[in-house]
Amino acid sequence: MIDWKHIDTVLLDMDGTLLDLHFDNYFWMQHVPMVYARTHSLSEEESARKLHSAFSIEQGTLDWYSLDYWSEQLQLDIPAIKRELVHMVSTRPYVVEFLTHLHASPRDVVLVTNAHRKTLDIKMEQIDITGWFDRVVVSHELDAPKEEQAFWHRLQALHPFDPARTLLIDDTESVLESAQRYGIAHLLTLLQPDSKRQKRIDTRFPGIHHFDEIMPTTNA
Ligand SMILES: [Mg+2]
């Protein structure tokens, strides 16, 4: 599926790719509506309805990924609430092995995430994977999410890479589409970003279930 001879740069998404998306889905779809109901004296159904529609409106924008934005909108201390559940953050299967192999190879390995810096910091308190990367790029710091072309242009200006020899692995289709438009040649998605939800069957890009399917050999 991947011919590692043709790959110099590996760009890896965090949530739903390296980490189990179950944490985020549970946090935003169940836990936050529960805390919001309690804080604002609403029923849980009312709270869930209100928040789920608010979340779908902002999708794919920097605000949507911003803890400060949601803290302000919902009048809740989102980072503090997130920290209470940090024990639920976990890597997907074979991630440590995959990153170990990549790190030992001559390739440039970059974490590219739309997660807010505060989210990244909280998650890395639980499970620090940053040591395997040559660089960590947070889209908020480039002022554009991966869904926008500006992100890839700014990434290129900061840390030049050859799109024809670059692999991006990301569970979000709109991010893969954006990367494809920019010219990134090798694109892979994840078939089950959330371990508690069903496997996806309608992906537009080639997908893997786990990283053991594309494990590079140490010298390849
Ligand atoms: Mg993701």
On average, the pLDDT of the chain sits at: 95
Q: How confident is the model at residue 218 (pLDDT cuts 50, 70, 90)?
A: low
**pLDDT at residue 209 above 80?**
yes
Answer yes or no: is 219 within a domain.
no
Q: Cα dihedral angle (16, 136, 122, 208), rounded to 10 degrees?
A: 10
Enumerate residues 6+ apart whose C-beta is below 8 A from 13. 112, 113, 146, 168, 169, 170, 171, 172, 175
Task: Give the distance (Å) from ligand 1 centre to CA of residue 17.
Answer: 6
Task: Give the distance (Å) from ligand 1 centre to CA of residue 193.
Answer: 8
Phi, psi of 108 (to 5 degrees): -85, 125
Is 157 found in the same domain as 58?
no
Task: Give the distance (Å) from ligand 1 centre to CA of residue 18.
Answer: 8
CA distances to 10, 52, 82, 89 from 210, in Å: 16, 29, 26, 17
Mean pLDDT to the nearest integer, 152-178: 97
Answer yes or no: is 153 within a domain.
yes
Measured CA to CA, the distance from residue 126 to residue 86 in angstroms comes to 6
Specify the pLDDT at position 180: 98
Radius of gyration of the chain (CA): 18
Answer yes or no: is 112 within a domain.
yes
Mean pLDDT to the nearest integer, 159-183: 98
Q: How confident is the model at residue 219 (pLDDT cuts 50, 70, 90)?
A: low
Domains in the chain: how many in total? 2
The answer to whether the pTM exceeds 0.75 is yes
Specify the pLDDT at position 58: 78
CATH number at residue 135: 3.40.50.1000
**pLDDT at residue 67 above 80?**
yes
Task: Give the containing element (helix H, strand E) for 110.
Answer: strand 108-113
Percentage of the chain modeled with pLDDT above 90:
92
8 A C-beta contact, residue 135 and residue 111: yes
Specify the pLDDT at position 172: 96
Task: Give the distance (Å) from ligand 1 centre to CA of residue 105.
Answer: 24
Answer yes or no: is 125 within a domain.
yes
Mean pLDDT to the nearest integer, 50-69: 89
Is 111 found in the same domain as 62?
no
Answer yes or no: is 220 within a domain.
no
Residue 30 is part of which domain span? 23-87
